Structures are given as structure tokens and as C-alpha cells.
Structure 1
Amino acid sequence: MALFLDSAHAADARTAMAFGFVGGITTNPNLMAQTGRKALEVIAELTEICPGPVFYQLSGATLEDREAEARRFLALRSNVALKIAMTSENIGLAARLAREGTTVGMTACYSAAQTYLCCEARTAYSIAYVNRSTRLQGDGLALTGEMRAVADACGRETRIMVASLKSAREVVQAILAGAQDVTIPLSLLKEMGNHPLSEQTIEEFARAAASA
């Protein structure tokens, strides 16, 4: 299992990498837009900060545009990975890139049937939006479990990554539901390391040490 940072900001990446256990970075067009910079520049910087896979999400208007875009970004560094929105048209592109050795994550998967196609295409990841699926379809955690069951039944190397997680509890629930990899923003990563009772206990220890 790997934990990824979901951010396009270099400062976030440096903080996350300093933890020593964050395995990679995922980005998307919304996160890219927040930087106010050119995507090529952002990904180039992130791949220098992070030794693991750094995912860039294709956004070209046509299939041909998206393939050309993929080639441009893959030429940057060896640890560039690609996120591709799940559609019948895009799965063929994903399969071609996966055969060439590219790490591909099919994003915006909202059904276990889509995960099955990811398995057949040999993509590295089928990515579920847990919280968004719950809001729009009823149960993002159940979807995560179904996706994992399909991937296991296929016996492929496709892994279930979960995104759109809004709380520490939702992260844990997604893992228990079958998620193999998790991507979260830096704020949630930090939140998960803290707990009011932990801080209370630390304060008690500090008082005891001071009085010793």
C-alpha cells in the first residue's frame, strides 16, 4: 500500500517528502490551475522533489491531443506517470501507453465495470472518488469494495487507488473497504497524525518530566 500526496504545489511536495514515507504525488487540472503556472514547469519541479511517481492528468481536447500531451510530459523525467479520465475512447490510449511501460491511472472511475476494463488494459491503477461517489451515487465505500473485488478476480496488477477523501475516518474506511493506495491533500495528511488525546497525554508527560 502507498500513500500519495494530492497537490500540485512544490511547497506541499517538499513537506510531504520530508515525512519519508509518502510514495508519490497526484495532480489534476484543478490543482494545476491553483498554481498559476505552466503544467510542464510544475511537473518538472515536482519530479525533482519526489523520487516516486508524479501523476499528470491529460486534458487535451481530442484523443490525438491527449496522446501528444502524454508524450510531452513523459519526456520530462522517468518518474512521470499519467492520469487519464475513464472513457471508452481513453481506455485504448491507456492500454497502448501501459504496454510501453508507462504508469497509468484511470481516474474518475464510478463503476466496477470500468475497473474491469482497467484490468484488461493493464493500467496500474483504477482510481475511485470516494466522497464524490457517495454524494452522487450513494456509497463510495461500497464502490471501492466492488472495484477491489473485480481487480482481485481478474488477477491483474491493476490496483485500486482512492481519492476525494475528506476526513481521517473516511481514509480508514476506504482502506478497510479494499483500497490499496490512497491520495490525500497535505492538510488531511497532517490532520491524521494528530489527535486531542495524544496532545493531552503529551502535556501530561511534559508536566511529569518537569516535576521529576
Structure 2
Amino acid sequence: MIFIDSADINEVKQAVALGFVRGCTTNPALLAKVRQEPQSVIAEICRLVPGPVFYQLTGRTREEREQEAREFYQIAPDKIVLKVPMTTENMALVTELTPEIPCAATAVFSGYQTLLAIEAGCSYVIPYVNRATRLLGDGLKLVREMLEVVRASGRPVEIVAASIKTSDEAGAAYLAGAHHLTLPLAVIQAFGNHQLSEAAIAEFDRYRA
């Protein structure tokens, strides 16, 4: 599936109106930009999108994160997925939340972290593709490695590729094994465009009555 990576209600509306955007991912930075209560923003997004809505936990302690998880899950139990930053302590929290509450391990940068997320009970694992390319040299290799771990586990865990800056990078992440892509609105809007397609369309237009 294609998700929009945004907490801006207007952007989410534009994406959903296209008909092929099924869900939404958010993070603390995106929510901070809209300057509204996160609960109200997430609730509105849940009303707009047909599929999953990802919210990232921000509590400072494990107890705060667990309470936050249960509060946000109640906004829309049929849609909310909780993004949990990848640490050993946070994966211990995931074991307490799942399977009641679906969770996604985010900021995953290795195969062994993927394995831990799977064993903890995560339904999704989220690599930052472009950031991994900048910091590790090859974000697509990371996606392939994560897919190998998922397949070896035999569990129904899905990869959501994030931190994608271009249409080419999105397509490459999908070919590398990502089950889902979460994209900024600008990338979504450009995803179906190609200069050769535009040239062909312009040529066809010459023959219109």
C-alpha cells in the first residue's frame, strides 16, 4: 500500500482524494509542525483515511509510553498502529501491548533489530531508506536484509519504507522488498509522472479533434 507521511490535514485530504493512498504515518516532528493537539489531529486523520494510521509514542518513561499507547489506541482501535522507536527497552514494552494493540518498530537500521521487533510482536518494521543511504551507504540493502529476516521468521510482519525523497527511490524500495511505502505529498503527486510519458501524451494531443 501507499501511505502519506504527514500530519497536515490538508495534505492528507489531498492524498486520500487521489484514491490510491490507503493510510497515513506521522511522527513527533510532523505533528509539531501543525501546532494542534496530537489527539485531535490523529482523530481527524482516522476519519479521513480508509486504512492504518501510525502514531509514534513520545513518553519519557516506559510507564508514560504505555499509558500514551492505550490512550491513542482508543481513538480508533480499528485503525491505530503505534510506532515504537527501536530500542531494547521499547521492544519489551511492545510485548506488553501486543497482540491487543498493533505496533510498528520504527528507526530500524539492522537485520538484528528487525529480528528483535518480530520476536517482540511487532506487525510492522520501518526502515528510514534515504537516511540509511546517507549514514550507512545503502538504504536499499537494509530493506533487503530486513526482508530476509522477515521471511526467515515466517511471521506475517510487513516492512513500511520511510524517509523516501524521490519517485525513483520509492520504486527501488518496493523492488528491494518493502511491502508498503510512506511518502511525502510531493512524492505522491509526482509518482505517476515521467518526462517520456509527458512527451508521449503531448504527441497524442496533436491528433485530438
Q: Is the pair's TM-score, using the shorter chain for normalization, greater than 0.5?
A: yes
- The separation in 1 between residues aligned to 2:177 and 2:200, in whole angstroms, is 32
Contact 1:6 1:25 in 2 (8 A): yes
Secondary structure at the aligned position of 1:209 is classed as coil
Task: Determine the C-alpha separation between the residues in 1 that align with 2:14 and 2:164.
Answer: 20
Which ranges in structure 2 are unaligned for 5 or more consecutive residues?
Answer: none
Task: Find the aligned partners of 1:23 and 1:98 in 2 and give their Cα distance.
Answer: 23
Number of residue equivalences: 208
Equivalence for 2:167: 168
Query: Match for residue 70 of structure 1?
Result: 69
User: CA offsets, 1:23-63, max 9 Å, x none?
Assistant: 21000001001101110111011011112111110011111
Give a deviation string over 1:2-41, Cα, whole Å, max 9, x none: 1111000111111111122212100000100110111011
Secondary structure of the 2:208 match is helix
Question: Amino acid of the residue matched to residue 95 of structure 2?
Answer: A
- Matches of 2:120 and 2:189 in 1, distance apart? 35
User: Residue 97 of structure 2 aligns with which residue?
Assistant: 97
* 3-state SS of paired residue (1:52): coil
- Counterparts of 1:126 and 1:77, CA distance in 2: 21
Q: Which residue of 2 aligns with 1:183?
A: 182
Does the 8 Å CA contact 1:122/1:156 hold for their aligned counterparts?
no
* Correspondence list, 1:38-49, <5 A: 38-49=37-48
CA distance in 2, matches of 1:138, 1:32: 29
Asked if 2 retains the 8 angstrom alpha-carbon contact of 1:122 and 1:157, the reply is no
Q: How far apart, CA to CA, are the structure 2 residues paired with 1:94 and 1:23? A: 25
Aligned match of 2:17: 18
1:29-178 equivalences under 5 Å are 29-78=28-77, 79-100=79-100, 102-178=101-177
Amino acid at match of 1:23: R
The whole-number CA distance in structure 2 between the counterparts of 1:66 and 1:172 is 34
Give the SS at the match of 1:77. Answer: coil
- Tell me the amino acid that sits aligned with residue 70 of structure 1: A
> For the residues of structure 2 that align with 1:114 and 1:157, how far apart are their CA atoms?
16
Relative to the length of structure 1, the TM-score reads 0.94
| Residue correspondence of structure 1 range 2-13 to structure 2 within 5 A | 2-13=1-12
- Alpha-carbon separation, structure 1, partners of 2:50 and 2:2: 14
Aligned to 1:33, the other structure's residue is in SS state: helix
* More displaced stretch, 107-116 vs 19-28: 19-28
CA drift of 1:118 comes to 1.3
Q: Normalising by the residue count of structure 2, what TM-score does the alignment of the two structures yield?
A: 0.96
TM superposition shift of 1:201: 2.0
- Identity percentage of aligned residues: 47
User: Post-superposition shift, 1:200?
Assistant: 2.1
Q: Which amino acid aligns with 1:192?
A: F
- CA distance in 1 between counterparts of 2:104 and 2:5 reads 14
- SS class of match (1:127): strand
User: What is the match of residue 197 of structure 1?
Assistant: 196
- Aligned partners of 1:84 and 1:90 also within 8 Å: yes
- Which stretch shifts more, 44-53 or 193-202? 193-202
Hey, which bits of structure 1, 4+ residues long, moved more than 3 A? Answer: none
Q: What's the Cα RMSD here? A: 1.1
Aligned match of 1:207: 206
Q: Secondary structure at the match of 1:208?
A: coil
Deviates more, 1:168-177 or 1:192-201: 192-201
Matched to 2:62, the amino acid is L
